[in-house]
Amino acid sequence: MNFAGLAKKSVLQQPVYEPGKPIEDVARELGLDPAEIIKVASNENPHGASPKALIAARAALDQAQLYPDGGCYRLRQALAKHWQLKPDQFVLGNGSNEVIELLGHVFLEPGDEVVMGAPAFVVYKLVTLLFGATPVEVPLVKYGHDLAAMRRAITPRTKLVFVATPNNPTGVTNSEAELCAFVRALPGHVVCVVDEAYAEFLAQPPDIRPLIAEGRAVIGLRTFSKIYGLAALRVGYGYGDAELIGLLERVRQPFNVNAIAQAAATAALADGEFAKRCREANAAGLEQLYAGCRSRALTYVPSAANFVLIHVGDGAAVFNGLQARGVIVRPLRGYGMPEWVRVTVGTESQNRRLLEALDDVLAARSR
């Protein structure tokens, strides 16, 4: 049976997202001990999750037979208090990835255009193509978004523009002044999506709430997968004008965020001390990796997130060499950067082991 013949042609042409390999898969493939492998590829929190979040998640399991709160009432109330906004200004998703897909459901049709940086988070492009729209990729400048060029790329067909700050995979951020000026200059038919997945790693991230108060067509995206350490539970959110958020609510599936995730995220949001410790540890880890790169004469891109780009010459070869030594990083050929790898900031010992393994790999390649 030719099942592909039954599918829409657009599905057969749709690119597939390739996530970082799980530790268990690498261990099986290479015959390694999973306990000896470190994964610094997917920008996960090496310090785990807030203890308060874990307690709340375990308690929620006691009612696993019940459907979750479809409106995420408690979490929305907590977010409203945290941001000093109203509960109806938030939409919850199965990770912020789902919120990106909701934007596609609401705003995109074949023939529409979506402006984004290049390289930037690949899901922007995947969702654009999924809905038959055209991605308009604007090259970065000094590894950051070229907002002036992105503004020039907007046409009457543009529906969405994505700005990630800090950007993934480069870690570079735009200032609040730059971002606000950009949004205020957009025509009324364009919605600006500000992806803030890594914003908590900044001491003072750009604040888009003044734009929301002005009634601008802007939506911020946040996630509990990064600094809050809840990547396994998949919970993220968008926030903006209540009318704009209401459109996303129209296409959101019921019960899209499970009860364990809701409970953990609500508790994590209240544990500011944990987030502060992770932010400080990340800053120290970045400095450790920077120093390691400088001492090895390796070029790197200073980052505002929890990862760093390192120029290694042949990213795929270095990725394979590190993986054979039990260290998983992210090669960037798929992002158009084949000479680079992206390294998540780990613990002090994980960072040290990465640098030592990198010495071995680079030495072996130079022989």
Of the pLDDT bands very low, low, confident and very high (cuts 50, 70, 90), residue 33 is: confident
> Token pair of 39, please?
């994964």
Q: Is the pLDDT of residue 85 over 70?
A: yes
> How would you classify the pairing of strands 90-93 and 158-164?
unpaired
Residue with tokens 């205020």: 184
pLDDT, residue 367, reads 64
Residue with tokens 């959110």: 237
Give the count of alpha carbons within 13 A of 211, CB side only. Answer: 25
Whole-number Cα distances in Å, 6 to 11, 51, 55: 10, 48, 47
CA distance 302 to 342: 12
- Give the H or E element holding residue 269: helix 259-270
Contact between residue 184 and residue 216 where contact means Cβ atoms under 8 Å apart: yes
Mean pLDDT for all residues in the chain: 95
CA distance 213 to 211: 5
| Percentage of the chain exceeding pLDDT 70 | 100
Q: What DSSP state is assigned to residue 252?
A: P
Q: Is the pLDDT of residue 299 over 90?
A: yes
Of the pLDDT bands very low, low, confident and very high (cuts 50, 70, 90), residue 307 is: very high
Q: What DSSP state is assigned to residue 305?
A: S
Domains present along the chain, CATH in parentheses: 19-48+273-366 (3.90.1150.10), 51-271 (3.40.640.10)
Looking at residues 283-287, what average pLDDT do you find?
98
- The per-residue pLDDT for range 135-161, each reduced to its tens digit, is 999 999 999 999 999 999 999 999 999
CA distance 227 to 205: 14
Cross-strand pairs, 355: none
What is the model's pTM?
Answer: 0.94
HEC sequence for 206-240: CCCHHHHHCCCCEEEEEECCCCCCCHHHCCEEEEE
Measure CA of the first residue to CA of the last residue in the chain; give whole Å.
Answer: 51
Least confident of 53-57, 68-72, 318-322, 360-364: 360-364
Residue with tokens 């400095």: 287
Looking at residues 330-350, what average pLDDT do you find?
96
| Closest of 328, 332, 316 to residue 354, by C-alpha | 328
Whole-number Cα distances in Å, 89 to 242, 272, 345: 5, 22, 33
Contact between residue 133 and residue 112 where contact means Cβ atoms under 8 Å apart: yes
Looking at residues 284-306, what average pLDDT do you find?
97
Q: What DSSP state is assigned to residue 22?
A: P
